[in-house]
Amino acid sequence: MRNRRPNRNSTPVVPAASLCAIYTRQSRTRYGQLSSCEAQRAICTEMVHEFDWNLSAESFDDSGEPSESLDRPGLQRLITAIESGQVCRVIVYSIDRLTRKLSDLHQLSSLFERYNVLVSVVTDPRFGETAAARLMTNIVAAASEFQQDITRERMADVRAALKRKGRRVAGRVPFGFTTDPTTKQSIVQSSAAVTVHQMFQFAITGKYPREIADAANAAGWKNQNGVAGRWTARQILKILSNPAYARSIRNGQGMLPGNHSAIVSNTVFEQVRSLIRNRRSRIPGRAKPAIEWPLRGILKCGQCQRLMTGRLSGYKNRYYRYYRCGSHAGGRAPCQSVSIPAFEIEEYVRLQISAECHRQGQQLAMQWVSLDEFQQTKSLKHILEEVVYHSNEGTISFTVFADAASRLIVPLNSIS
C-alpha cells in the first residue's frame, strides 16, 4: 500500500508526541569563532519557538561535510530517526544545507513523503506547498548543482594552470620542505633536507628502505612529526619515490618542472627510482584475480532486505571472499557487522539444494546430481530466486524458481 501524500496546502498541527528536528551543515570546520552550523541552528530555533513546535533534544549537525553525498553522520542519524517515527518535521535554514544535487534532493523528498515528514525552510517559507513552489525548488536545486559543477571545473583549471607554472597546488608538504606563509609555495628546510639527502645517498649504495630506516632510527633522525627513532621502511620508500625532491611536481601520469629548489639532483633521483623499480617482483598495485560470485544479485541481508555485495580481503598473495551488507540504497548506511564467508554460505546452500531438487521433481534431481560440486556452485544463480542471510538468528533461507528444471538445462551445455 502506498503512503498517503501529505496535504501541502495547509500547515498541520504537530502532535505533542511528535518532534521537529533541525538539520544544519557546513562544508568547512572553523574553530574559535561562531560556526555556520551554530548560526543556522539559532535561526531555525527561532522558527520553532514562533510556531510553538516541539523540538527534538538531539542535534543533527554535519560540520566539515560536503554536499556531494548523503553519507554524512548527522544526516544518516536524522534519516534513522525519521524511519523510526521519532521526527515528523525537518527544519533547515536553506535547501542547499540538505543537498546541492538534484538527484539527492529527489531521494530525500521521496523519503520525507514516504514517512509523512514535513520540511520547513527558513529562507523559503512556502517550500513545497504549491506546484509552482515545488517547481521553483527543483530549479534552485538544479542551479545549485550547476554552480557546484562550474566551481569544480574552474578549480581544476586553476590547479592545472598553477602546475604548468611549476607552483605547488595543495596536499601534504613533503618531509624536508616547509611552505611560505604568503604564497604557500614549497621552501627547503635546511635541517630536514640534510636527512633527505643522506637517505638518497644510502639508496644509491644499494641499501634497502628497511636498512635505511634502521640507520635513521639508530642515528636518531627526526621524522616529519619531530619524533626521533620512528622511521619505517614505508616512509623511506615514500620519500625516495617523491619527485618533489628533484624539483618536479606530479601532473597526472607525468611530471612538470617545479619552481622550488631541489634537494637532490635529477640524476640521483632517477638512479634511485631505477633501483626501486628493478627490485619489484610484480607490477605495482595489487592485481585482484578474476572471481565469480554465485550468489551475487540474489543474496539479501535479513535485517534490511537489501542485496549483499561480494568483497575480497587479502594478505600477501592470498585472498579471502566474503559477502557483506554494503548497500546504501534508500539513503541508509549498510548494516554494521553483517558479513559471512562466501565459501561457507555457498557450500551450505549447495548442500541444501540437493534435498530441494528432489522435492521439485525427478527431472531437476537427475540434472542436479549429474553435476560436480564446482558446476553445482556455479549453477546456483540459475535456479535460486532469492537467498536471505539472517545474521541475528544465524540462519539462511532460500527460494527455488518454480521452473528450475528448465532453467538448469541452459547452463549444462556451457559449463566445462
Write out pLDDT tens, residues 348-389: 888 887 766 766 666 667 777 777 778 778 878 878 888 899
The per-residue pLDDT of the chain, averaged, comes to 78
- 368-371: Cβ within 8 A, 24+ apart: 368/408, 370/412, 371/412, 371/415
Q: Tell me what pLDDT residue 343 has.
A: 86
Amino acid at 239: I
Neighbours of 12 (CB within 10 A): 11
Where does the pLDDT of residue 132 fall: very low under 50, low under 70, confident under 90, or very high at 90 and above?
low
pLDDT: which is higher, 181 or 359: 181
pLDDT(167) > 70: yes
Cell numbers for 315, please give them.
Answer: 594478505
CA dihedral 353, 358, 363, 368 (to 10 degrees): 30
Lowest mean pLDDT among 56-60, 367-371, 402-406: 402-406
Assigned C-alpha cell, 183 = 604564497
Residue 305's pLDDT band (cuts 50, 70, 90): confident
- 208 vs 69, residue with greater confidence: 208
pLDDT reported for residue 344: 87
> Residue 280, exposed/middle/buried by CB under 10 A (0-12, 13-18, 19+)?
exposed
Kindly state the cell numbers that stand for 341: 564467508
pLDDT at residue 18 greater than cutoff 70? no
Predicted local distance difference test score (pLDDT) of residue 189: 83
pLDDT at residue 15 is higher than 50: no
pTM of the predicted structure, to 2 decimals: 0.40
**Would the pLDDT of 285 be above 60?**
no
Rounded distance, CA 39 to CA 319, Å? 50
Please report the pLDDT score of residue 95 as a whole number. 83
Answer whether 245's CB lies under 8 Å from 269's CB. yes
To the nearest whole percent, how much of the chain has pLDDT over 90? 6
For residue 133, the model assigns a pLDDT of: 60
Please say if the pLDDT value at position 23 is more than 90: yes
Of the ranges 26-30, 287-291, 365-369, 386-390, the best mean pLDDT one? 386-390
Average pLDDT over residues 405-413: 46
User: Does the pLDDT at position 231 exceed 60?
Assistant: yes
Q: How would residue 21 be classed by pLDDT, with cut points 50, 70 and 90?
A: very high
Residue 274 contacts by C-beta under 8 Å, 6 or more apart in sequence? none
Question: What whole-number distance in Å separates Cα of residue 313 and Cα of residue 322?
Answer: 8
pLDDT band at 91 (very low <50, low <70, confident <90, very high): very high
- pLDDT for residue 226 is more than 80: no
For the stretch 75-79, contacts whose Cβ atoms lie closer than 8 Å and that sit 24 or more positions apart, written own/partner, are 75/23, 75/25, 76/331, 76/332, 76/333, 78/21, 78/23, 79/111, 79/331, 79/332
245, 198 Cβ separation under 8 angstroms:
no
pLDDT at 283: 55
Q: How many CA atoms lie within 13 A of 344 on its CB side?
A: 12
